[in-house]
Structure 1
Amino acid sequence: MTKNKDLFIHLSSVSEEQAGSVESQVCNLTDQISKLTYHLKLHSKDYSSQRGLWKILGKRKRILVHLHRKSPLRYEKLINQLSIRVPKTVKFL
């Protein structure tokens, strides 16, 4: 969890024009996912939080698919930095 947080801090120190970049959005969503996952380990029957987690996962997946189509090199770099799995919808050519 600290690895993601360190990366988030590093990306948040980027200039204002890059604050809304795909990388910063995915990093922010990954941080939220790790927090919600920890919360759900403690409160397994919190179905509202489960739904929120599913929505965040779907949003991150859509952003990653878009990034893979537009710039596969940036996509690979981001996946390796965050050490997250490749979404199943991403097909490598």
Structure 2
Amino acid sequence: MVKNTFISGFSQEEKEENRGSVEFQVFSFTNKIRRLTSHLQLHRKDYLSQRGLRQILGKRQRLLAYLSKKSRVRYKELIGRLDIRELKTH
């Protein structure tokens, strides 16, 4: 049920054409992050899942940093669509 609500953000045609795009990768990482956080709320001592979550968060952060450098408009649109926080700037 939860998965279907997030997948509806991308139409079937967009998924088939642009699986390698930065937006789709961030979208799929966000789905994985939401699934893992709900899992970790039940299983607090699952340290391997915590490690996997940190790795996925790092990958998503790097992709978002890349996208913000390349196209600020696409970055802002993606942040708004997925309802995630903006990157911290140093």
- TM-score, reference length from structure 2: 0.87
After TM superposition, the structure 1 = structure 2 runs for residues 51-90 of structure 1, keeping only pairs within 5 Å, are 51-89=51-89
Do the aligned partners of 2:15 and 2:24 also contact (CA within 8 Å) in 1?
Answer: no
- Which residue of structure 2 lines up, in the alignment, with residue 6 of structure 1? 8
Structure 1 gaps, min length 5: none
Identity of aligned residues (%): 49
**Mapping of 1:23-42 within 5 angstroms?**
23-42=23-42
Counterpart of 2:43? 43
Instruction: Name the TM-score, length of structure 1 as normaliser.
Output: 0.84
Unaligned runs of 5+ in 2: none
Tell me the CA shift for residue 16 of structure 1.
Answer: 4.0
- Cα offset for 1:3? 4.3
Deviation at 1:5, TM superposition (A): 3.0
Q: Which runs of 4+ in 1 moved over 6 A?
A: none
